[in-house]
Amino acid sequence: MSVFHILVVDDESNLRKILATILRKQGYEVSLAAHGEEALALVQKTKVDVIVTDLVMPRLGGMELLKTLSQTHPEIPVIIITAHGTVDSAVEAIKGGAFDYITKPFEQAEIQSVVEKATKTVQANKKNVHADWLRSRSAIIGNSPQMQEVFRLIDKVANTPSTVLITGESGTGKELVATALHQGSSRQPHPLIKINCAAIPKDLMESELFGYERGAFTGAVSSKPGRFELADGGTLFLDEISEIPVEMQVKLLRALQECEFERVGGIKTTRVDVRLVAASNQNLEKEVEAGRFRKDLFYRLNVVPIHLPSLRERKDDIPSLVNHFIEKYNHRLHKNVQSVEPEVLSMLQNWPWPGNIRELENLMERVLVLTEATQLGLADFPENMRSQTPASPPEESAFVPQLKDASFKNIVRMKSAEVERELIAQALEETKGNVTRSAKLLQISRKSLQTKMKEFGLRDESNEDT
């Protein structure tokens, strides 16, 4: 087991030495600081598990040290040492986040007991963090070589400050990767703030990212922090970053490079410590060539690229994903599906999956909602999937022999259904699942679209404008 590192902070040299001797006898590694400023410098340079600090010190006292650490290192327990005359201040420190306090003069057994409790808390928190990391990591399913490379990159870069750019088609699991990167980093105790850039109107993008001051615009009756401020100390995940307007990209680049910005309508510069993870389903290099995305911002984002393959590129992972979703929706829907017929897996592996894993999950949820069986068969799935053509567009020589087994009308119907489904899936993707807007885009009635969605196994999340 690793040795815990205790930092003792006190302006009295003799007391520092006494505490160091007591704690080293207990088996701890001990560092010493004469005041709060020296303590903060040590925390920045080395890993500290527990801090024992005097309350009253020159330059930077224990209360100020506690306030700073609660923002920058909330995972470190802080034990306050105080004289009888300042017990009220120690109690106030407890309310402010201190782990415990000890009054002078103290017994050796007392200091040992309090520090031991603090180290046990640190150990329990580490186990919880590791459990969170394992849960977020295990939520990404896949044994294919492509996914093994994704896992390798996640494990390697999670606990680094480097910016990560996640690319891949819609529905491939980019948000899951962002969550795993955050949970696997030292920033895990701090917030993971997520924002979908495509869902924010262009004229509100700046205030959403950087916040605004009271009176900055009509309706700004009070000040509001932006996502950068909310993510201070943690991770900011910008999904669909290609949708950020070009005029906003300059301000985003400055915030990333300088770690500072001003709120809308404000003059005060705010500094933050944020690790950025961005994602895009667009080819940003092509967006740069087309003049829709700044080259310098692209280079700033593309420090560590992680590309997620489409489901079509890793069909061998489909059985594992199917089992995962069966387990998930068995629990959520109180079902008892135990297995699937081999013909079902063959059918699913031949489907083109334009919506990737999101489409597969929605399909499995729908199937489990409707079935009463313990084994899923072909009859549980939509008719258009059962009469599907191969996932890859067939060559002419491969298509012609089908005429021997099916009528011309049936083949045309099958191909038409495939194209129709892909167009509907694309429309839903572009409108973020908004059925009314998708119907307008496709120039069909809302009722007709819902009928088609039901026929094709596309989930109606009823994401309507409010």
pLDDT tens digits, one per residue of 81-118: 887 656 677 677 777 788 888 888 888 998 999 999 99
Specify the pLDDT at position 377.
94
SS3 383: helix
For 412-423, the pLDDT digits (tens) are: 666 677 778 888
Specify the pLDDT at position 395.
39
Give domain status of residue 319, yes or no.
Answer: yes
| Last residue within a domain, chosen from 84, 104, 130 | 130
Specify the pLDDT at position 398.
36
Give domain status of residue 465, yes or no.
Answer: no
| Cα Dmax for the chain | 97
Same-domain status, 429 and 354: yes
Specify the pLDDT at position 460.
55
For 224-253, the pLDDT digits (tens) are: 889 999 998 899 999 999 999 998 999 999
Same-domain status, 282 and 424: no
Specify the pLDDT at position 224.
86
Give domain status of residue 451, yes or no.
Answer: yes
The Cα 204–Cα 294 span in angstroms is 20
- Select the more confidently predicted residue: 319 or 435: 319
Q: How many other C-beta atoms lie within 10 A of the C-beta of residue 43?
A: 20
Specify the pLDDT at position 335.
93
The Cα 34–Cα 269 span in angstroms is 32
If you count them, how many residues does the chain have? 466
Specify the pLDDT at position 442.
82
The CATH number that applies at residue 281 is 3.40.50.300
| Last residue within a domain, chosen from 130, 160, 195 | 130
Specify the pLDDT at position 131.
56
Q: Which domain holds residue 262?
A: 139-309
Based on the number of CB atoms within 10 Å of its own CB, is 458 exposed (0-12), middle (13-18) or buried (19 or more)?
Answer: buried
| Last residue within a domain, chosen from 100, 130, 160 | 130
Mean pLDDT, the chain, as a whole number? 85
Give the rounded distance of the alpha carbon of 245 from its chain centre.
23
- Mean pLDDT over 2-21 rounds to 91
Q: What are the φ and ψ backbone dihedral angles of 187, each rounded to 5 degrees? A: -85, 0
- Mean pLDDT over 351-372 rounds to 93
The Cα 266–Cα 172 span in angstroms is 39
Give domain status of residue 462, yes or no.
Answer: no
Q: How confident is the model at residue 293 (pLDDT cuts 50, 70, 90)?
A: very high
Rg (CA), the chain: 29
The b/e string for 172-202 (b: 16+ C-beta within 10 A; e otherwise) is bbbebbbbbbbbbbebbebbbbbbebeebee
Q: How confident is the model at residue 387 (pLDDT cuts 50, 70, 90)?
A: confident
Same-domain status, 236 and 365: no
Examine the pLDDT at 449 and tell me if it is beyond 50: yes
Number of domains in the chain: 3
Same-domain status, 152 and 290: yes
Contact call for residues 57 and 15 (beta carbons, < 8 A): no
Same-domain status, 77 and 89: yes
Closest CA to 460 of 428, 437, 430: 428
Cis previous bond, 401, omega within 30: no
Task: Identify the residue whose tokens are 């001797």.
Answer: 21
User: What is the crossing angle of helices 318-333 and 342-350, to 10°?
Assistant: 110
The Cα 53–Cα 97 span in angstroms is 14
Contact call for residues 174 and 279 (beta carbons, < 8 A): yes
For 62-81, the pLDDT digits (tens) are: 888 988 888 778 889 999 98
Give domain status of residue 368, yes or no.
Answer: yes
Same-domain status, 191 and 233: yes
Task: Identify the residue whose tokens are 């049936």.
Answer: 410
Specify the pLDDT at position 128.
60
Examine the pLDDT at 38 and tell me if it is beyond 70: yes
Q: How confident is the model at residue 189 (pLDDT cuts 50, 70, 90)?
A: confident
Six token digits for residue 464: 């309507």
Is the pTM for the entire model greater than 0.85? Answer: no
Residues of the chain above pLDDT 70, percent: 88
- Mean pLDDT over 312-323 rounds to 93
Same-domain status, 317 and 403: yes
Same-domain status, 286 and 155: yes
Specify the pLDDT at position 124.
75
The CATH number that applies at residue 407 is 1.10.8.60
- Mean pLDDT over 180-189 rounds to 88
Specify the pLDDT at position 275.
94
Same-domain status, 119 and 212: no
Contacts of residue 56, Cβ cutoff 8 Å, sequence gap at least 6: 62, 82, 83, 86
The CATH number that applies at residue 38 is 3.40.50.2300
Give domain status of residue 211, yes or no.
Answer: yes
Same-domain status, 150 and 105: no
Same-domain status, 321 and 293: no
Same-domain status, 264 and 160: yes
Give domain status of residue 357, yes or no.
Answer: yes
Give domain status of residue 40, yes or no.
Answer: yes
